Amino acid sequence: MINRFLNAVVAAFALTSVAALAATPAMAPKATPQPKPQGAEVAFVSAIQKDLNARFPTPADAEKAGYFRYTNEDKTGSISYANLQWQSDDPQHPSQLWYSVNGKLLGADFSVLLDKSPNAPPSLWGVNPQRWEKFGHSHIHYILTDANGKETYGATKTAKYVAAGGTEANPTADPLVKMGIAKDASQVKKVFVFPALWDLQVWVTPNPNGAFAEMNPLVKPSATAEKDDM
């Protein structure tokens, strides 16, 4: 979901002078749209629910289409699959799909690369632009395997990866070994860049809280679900 394997970004603001503050009226915070679809969003959500449930009902269907698992179960009960196509040109091409531990399709992420819309969130498909979340920094994800083929999922900051000799343009296993994340390169099944982007998350399984809500009371995370991100 929204912050899987991502650190929250905290912005610090310096105060210049009391006089300047007095002269500048305070700006009202932007209203957060309610999680239930509104207006044209209703048709958007209805269409993707019908389409994605028909095409990707199970993880096996997602894998056939080029998606692969890259996370543990998160606090929402979701396991994420990505296809490394981070520019969603239409509602039929989500960048990520989420499944429950039992293999039920739960939702999807749609993405727009930040360099495609650097100054404002996307205005697409009738969705309120305020629903798109900005991830302003890239990070590196990896999948490790042990001798029995069991996978381990993780992520690290791009700066740390680059400091170990890696590059965003061509991520490889060797920096992960240098960082002590993997014992040797043969353990690394996949390493890839999660780029800076705008992200939109939508539940495609029914959610009483609304299709754009973070949590879904109908989805019960397992006892081993991760409580925190990254």
pLDDT score, position 30: 58
pLDDT beyond 70 at 29: no
Q: Are 6 and 199 within 8 A, CB to CB?
A: no
pLDDT score, position 226: 85
User: Distance from first CA to last CA of the chain, Å, rounded?
Assistant: 12
Taking only the tens place, the pLDDT of each residue in 108-130 is: 999 999 999 999 999 999 999 99
pLDDT beyond 80 at 38: yes
Q: Find tokens 């890239």 and name the residue.
A: 138
Stated pTM of the model = 0.86
CA–CA distance, 180 with 172 (Å, rounded to integer): 14
pLDDT beyond 60 at 12: no
* Amino acid at the residue 118: P
CA–CA distance, 203 with 211 (Å, rounded to integer): 5
- Averaged confidence pLDDT in the chain: 89
pLDDT score, position 1: 58
